[in-house]
A and B are shown apart, each in its own frame.
Chain A
Amino acid sequence: MAEASVENSIAPDRKGNAVSRFVWTYVFATDHKVIGLQFLFSSLIWFFVGGFLALAVRWQLAWPWSDMPIFGHMLFAESGGQMSPGFYNMLFTMHATIMIFFVIIPILAGAFGNYLIPLMVGAEDMAFPRLNMLSYWFMWPAFACIILSFFMPEYGASAGWTSYPPLSVFQGDAQSLWLLAMVFVGISSMMGSINYLTTIIQMRAPGMTMFRMPMTVWGMFITAIMQAFALPVLTAALLMQLSDRLLMTGFFLPENIAVNNGVATSGGGQVLLWQHLFWFYSHPAVYIMILPAMGMVSDIISCFSRKPLFGYRPMVYSITAIAGLGFVVWGHHMFISGMNHTLAMSFMVSTMLIALPSGIKVFNWIGTLWGGKLQLTTPMLFCVGFVSMFVIGGLSGIVMSAPPVDIVIHDTYYIVAHLHYVLFASSVLGVLGAIYFWFPKMFGRMMNERLGKIHFFLTFIFLNGTFFPMHFLSRMPRRVADPYIYEGLKDLLPLNQFMTICAIGMGLTQLIFVANFFGSMFFGAKAGRNPWNANTLEWTTASPPPHGNFDVQPIVRRGPYEYSHPDTECDFFPQTKTS
């Protein structure tokens, strides 16, 4: 119990008054479960901020230059409430930044990674509890930078989340804050990933071999490897851009370009270098944002199919293959960037290859459902939703991996459709499913099933209403404040208005989730240790688990997917159960 003594040594005042007890338990927490919940709550709050920004983007596309509700008159009193084009650029920049760096990555790796890894491998805590605490704390300078950037004259960074120089070097101070925030987020993720890797490699319970680990842990493990390898590159690139902005270097600037209100740079830099460095991180980041969800979805689908995960080892190998290939496909974001056109061919081949392991995963999920005894609970519905939406996102990925086709659809709404099918319709549905699934473990109470199903139904309908029509806007450039300035795009207005109405519906639907989440936290039915009759280790301990996680050291005797085993009485066979 070395970790427990660490906890006690920095928390000597645990028996003090309520305030100091709260501070020591929830702020200076080194318990992985509390840190997981910290990540969960801050990500959910940012989820609503990011969603709000998205609705403002949709508002402008449906009713361009009309009065923006609520914030319009506050920010743009002199123009009568209509947003400025620069403000529109800020909206989509910050929407993407917040959703990627403050919501999806922290909620998957930070919240679920922290909460589940030690519980699922049978450890009492993370390998480095205080490093873990620090990894959450490093999110706060990032939050501060981003919040501060909203109060800059331009209301926030507005060079797109990809932040391509030279434009990003031309921007105001909000861009510097943005770069700093990204550096902090990166450091936070790097500390997290080192912790996950060490914990998974070193602290597995007796009997928990690598191939007895649940897919969730495999997803987190591979993700942590990707973060550990890719993030240093992004961090270096961010600092280089920062120094281009503040120290007048010229890493990304060619000769004779005027920067930052009047100082010419030394030049000699390469504009495309940023894109290579950025996408070397940000393409793996796409998998960082979905592999943990794939892992969790695999566990949930197997549990509610009451059937072993179909092809466990191929599932592990395909996650590994996706991660490995994920490092050599970044050029597909740059087919028409001016990068060598021959190079595009090799990136096309590696990109197409990724479709293979992704396809294997989908087929294996279907194989898991087939012949099962399916229990269509809320988490199961979200996970089946994940699989069917991932098919759409994956297939549109094959379409755009063909460079000649990408000439047409690059930087248009087709891309926006694709990325939202992967990141929202897949990752976020997976995350929501995981919240419904592990909520009883986290808070000891069940979430309301009826509200959960309504939440799923409306989210599913509205997300398809919002994102599917985007596939048909493959001639409408993205990041354009008023596409109707082009004669050839004027007829797309009604379709855009339809999508905006669906987006507003989707936003409102999430209020059902908020009500269910907080209502169930206080009034939900008490959950026992194992409300879903699942096999993995976290369900053998109390809900919520005590500090140190397990009353007795778990001994693992079998893999995590022994559902409906012919030799057992009941249809599940926990990993620790003696036969």
Chain B
Amino acid sequence: MNRFWSVLFLLVPVLGIASVLMAMYGVAPLESAWLPKSLSQAGDTIDQLFNGIHLLAAFILAGTVFTIGWALWRFSDRGNSDAKALYITHNTKLEITWTVIPALILVFLAFFQMKSWAENKMDRPTVMVDGVSSLKPPMVMVKAKRFGWEFYYAGDDGVVETEDDIFVENLLVLPAGEEIVLQMESRDVIHSFYVPELRLKQDIVPGMTQFVWFNAREEKEIEVMCTELCGWGHYMMKADLNFVSRAQFDVWIAEQKSAYSPEFKKAAEPTASLRTTNNLPSADLLGAAQTAVGIEN
């Protein structure tokens, strides 16, 4: 019976590592699990980290849990010996070794990943304007609301949040192969902008403005998910994200412009008047605002 239990514990690293490797290298039945194929260079770097740390973890899992299983196999009391257990209270050299080696690995890991983090979250792309390098302006302003996504494309002036913005709901069409910056704000509660293929996620916090940037390498139709609980309809807060060629994008955005009228924009933005007043809004306004943000329990 003791052997049975040691085999049970030995199975943990065997099955665990086997399934991790299967997921990592796309072997059935886990070929579609884990992460979808990365669409960007930054995503590839994250994948390398993800896989690298998992391999390291798998190695440590094998070492520790295999030792546990082996200890159970080797040292179980089968009642056939009167010898006592070894009386060992500590071993300073061994303990220093197994503290210092993991410490070195962790320090390496900590420094190794900083570049990727900076590239994803801190070093926003720049453009040269009149010989001076400045932050790249956002192409689209994302407004998250319960339970959908509003996208305002910069119009002819190339600046978001102006009169000529082009409004599209729950559909984000972007050119592939270009560095794109999005500006994101929330209309009501916290939302989160998640595109697994781009390895991109950013919470959108009311009262704050966030920027994200990415460069998709191929044309593909994917989805934007909301990953911060935002109420009963959280599960259906999705948008389609289509990466198309520059030519297709230009055609599409021209179509949007011609279909577009200022009245339509006003109708789509009922909370705008509430958001610009600092006084207590009237009952009518509040009613409209509540309908707009869906405040019903």
Interface string of A380-409 (1 = CB under 8 A from B): 010011011001100110110011110110
Q: Please, which residues of chain A bring their CB within 8 A of the CB of B64?
A: 362-363, 366, 388, 391
Does A86 make an interface contact (CB < 8 A)? yes
Interface string of B46-82 (1 = CB under 8 A from A): 1001100110110011001101100110011100000
Q: Please, which residues of chain B bring their CB within 8 A of the CB of A231?
A: none
Does A557 make an interface contact (CB < 8 A)? no
Given contacts A477-B227, A488-B222, A564-B84, contact A258 B67 (CB under 8 A): no
Selecting from A28-36, A166-174, A200-208, the interface stretch reads A166-174
Does B117 make an interface contact (CB < 8 A)? yes
A560 → B minimal CB distance (Å): 12
A271 to chain B: closest residue by CB = B205
A369 → B minimal CB distance (Å): 4
B149 → A minimal CB distance (Å): 14
Given contacts A167-B229, A402-B113, A407-B46, contact A564 B85 (CB under 8 A): yes
B97 to chain A: closest residue by CB = A363
B103 and A388 form a contact (CB under 8 A): no
Does A66 make an interface contact (CB < 8 A)? no
A381 to chain B: closest residue by CB = B5
Q: Please, which residues of chain B bring their CB within 8 A of the CB of A338?
A: 202-205, 208, 210
Per a CB cutoff under 8 Å, which of B45, B61, B117, B297 touches A171? B297
B5 and A408 form a contact (CB under 8 A): no
Q: Please, which residues of chain A bring their CB within 8 A of the CB of B34?
A: 472, 474-475
A164 and B60 form a contact (CB under 8 A): no
Per a CB cutoff under 8 Å, which of B32, B113, B222 touches A403? B113
Selecting from A6-14, A217-225, A347-355, A532-540, the interface stretch reads A347-355
B87 and A172 form a contact (CB under 8 A): no
B53 and A474 form a contact (CB under 8 A): no
Per a CB cutoff under 8 Å, which of B88, B91, B117, B223 touches A344? B117
Selecting from A18-26, A97-105, A134-142, A301-309, the interface stretch reads A301-309
Q: Please, which residues of chain B bring their CB within 8 A of the CB of A353?
A: 106
The residues in A between 60 and 90 inclusive whose CB is less than 8 angstroms from any CB of B are: 84-86, 88-89
Per a CB cutoff under 8 Å, which of A153, A384, A460 touches B297? A153
Q: Please, which residues of chain A bring their CB within 8 A of the CB of B236?
A: 85, 482, 485
B283 and A262 form a contact (CB under 8 A): yes
Per a CB cutoff under 8 Å, which of A261, A271, A384, A464 touches B208? A271
A258 and B274 form a contact (CB under 8 A): yes
Selecting from A370-378, A437-445, A501-509, the interface stretch reads A370-378
B234 and A481 form a contact (CB under 8 A): yes
Q: Which of B98, B188, B204 has the most CB of A within 10 A?
A: B98
B60 to chain A: closest residue by CB = A395
Selecting from B156-164, B171-179, B249-257, B285-293, the interface stretch reads B285-293
A166 and B189 form a contact (CB under 8 A): yes
A307 and B227 form a contact (CB under 8 A): no
Interface string of A338-366 (1 = CB under 8 A from B): 10011011001100110110011011101
Does B129 make an interface contact (CB < 8 A)? no
The residues in A between 98 and 120 inclusive whose CB is less than 8 angstroms from any CB of B are: none
A405 and B72 form a contact (CB under 8 A): no
Does B232 make an interface contact (CB < 8 A)? yes
Q: Which of A159, A344, A374 has the most CB of B within 10 A?
A: A374
B229 and A89 form a contact (CB under 8 A): yes
Q: Please, which residues of chain A bring their CB within 8 A of the CB of B72?
A: 369, 374, 376, 384
Does B226 make an interface contact (CB < 8 A)? yes
What is the CA–CA distance of A474 and B54 in the complex, to the nearest angstrom?
Answer: 13
Does A565 make an interface contact (CB < 8 A)? yes
B89 and A312 form a contact (CB under 8 A): yes
A342 and B274 form a contact (CB under 8 A): no
What is the CA–CA distance of A375 and B1 in the complex, to the nearest angstrom?
Answer: 11
A167 and B230 form a contact (CB under 8 A): yes
Selecting from B131-139, B190-198, B260-268, the interface stretch reads B190-198
A308 and B88 form a contact (CB under 8 A): yes
B235 and A373 form a contact (CB under 8 A): no
Q: Please, which residues of chain A bring their CB within 8 A of the CB of B229?
A: 89, 159-160, 164, 167, 479
Per a CB cutoff under 8 Å, which of A306, A308, A460 touches B8? A460
Q: Please, which residues of chain A bring their CB within 8 A of the CB of B94?
A: 367
Q: Which of B56, B84, B98 has the most CB of A within 10 A?
A: B84
Interface string of B9-48 (1 = CB under 8 A from A): 1001001100110010000001011111000000001100
A164 and B190 form a contact (CB under 8 A): yes
A398 and B223 form a contact (CB under 8 A): no
B231 to chain A: closest residue by CB = A167
A571 and B203 form a contact (CB under 8 A): no
Does A519 make an interface contact (CB < 8 A)? no
Does B99 make an interface contact (CB < 8 A)? yes
What is the CA–CA distance of A402 and B192 in the complex, to the nearest angstrom?
Answer: 19
Q: Please, which residues of chain A bring their CB within 8 A of the CB of B15?
A: 464
Q: Please, which residues of chain A bring their CB within 8 A of the CB of B219?
A: none
A254 to chain B: closest residue by CB = B207
Does B246 make an interface contact (CB < 8 A)? no
A408 and B46 form a contact (CB under 8 A): yes
A308 to chain B: closest residue by CB = B89
A160 → B minimal CB distance (Å): 5
Does B247 make an interface contact (CB < 8 A)? no
A485 and B235 form a contact (CB under 8 A): yes
A355 and B207 form a contact (CB under 8 A): no
B67 → A minimal CB distance (Å): 5
What is the CA–CA distance of A482 and B194 in the complex, to the nearest angstrom?
Answer: 16
B49 and A85 form a contact (CB under 8 A): no
A488 and B223 form a contact (CB under 8 A): yes
Does A3 make an interface contact (CB < 8 A)? no
B226 and A369 form a contact (CB under 8 A): no
Does B259 make an interface contact (CB < 8 A)? no
Does A282 make an interface contact (CB < 8 A)? no
B86 and A480 form a contact (CB under 8 A): no
B38 to chain A: closest residue by CB = A408
Does B238 make an interface contact (CB < 8 A)? yes
Q: Please, which residues of chain B bring their CB within 8 A of the CB of A337?
A: 203, 205
Given contacts A258-B290, A408-B35, contact A373 B85 (CB under 8 A): yes
B199 → A minimal CB distance (Å): 5
Given contacts A307-B85, A310-B89, A407-B200, contact A376 B50 (CB under 8 A): no
B95 and A314 form a contact (CB under 8 A): yes
Q: Please, which residues of chain B bring their CB within 8 A of the CB of A395?
A: 57, 60-61
Does A521 make an interface contact (CB < 8 A)? no
Does B128 make an interface contact (CB < 8 A)? no
What is the CA–CA distance of A396 and B56 in the complex, to the nearest angstrom?
Answer: 11
Q: Please, which residues of chain B bring their CB within 8 A of the CB of A402?
A: 49, 53, 109, 113
A412 to chain B: closest residue by CB = B227
A481 and B76 form a contact (CB under 8 A): no
A-B contact pairs, 22 of them (CB 8 A): A89-B232, A164-B228, A166-B188, A166-B206, A262-B283, A310-B89, A314-B95, A336-B202, A356-B103, A363-B95, A364-B95, A367-B91, A374-B77, A376-B5, A395-B57, A396-B57, A404-B49, A474-B35, A475-B35, A475-B36, A479-B234, A495-B33
Q: Can you add 9 more A-B contacts, CB < 8 Å, to A256-B276, A369-B71?
A: A85-B233, A85-B236, A352-B110, A356-B99, A359-B98, A371-B75, A391-B65, A460-B8, A571-B85
A-B interface, 6 closest residue pairs, ranked by CB to CB distance from nearest: A254-B207, A472-B33, A371-B86, A86-B232, A395-B57, A404-B116
Residues of B near any A CB (own CB < 8 A): 1-2, 5, 8-9, 12, 15-16, 19-20, 23, 30, 32-36, 45-46, 49-50, 53-54, 56-57, 60-61, 64-65, 67-68, 71-72, 75-77, 83-91, 94-95, 98-99, 102-103, 106, 109-110, 113-114, 116-117, 120-122, 188-190, 192, 194, 196-197, 199-208, 210, 222-223, 225-236, 238, 274-278, 280-281, 283, 286-287, 289-290, 293, 295, 297
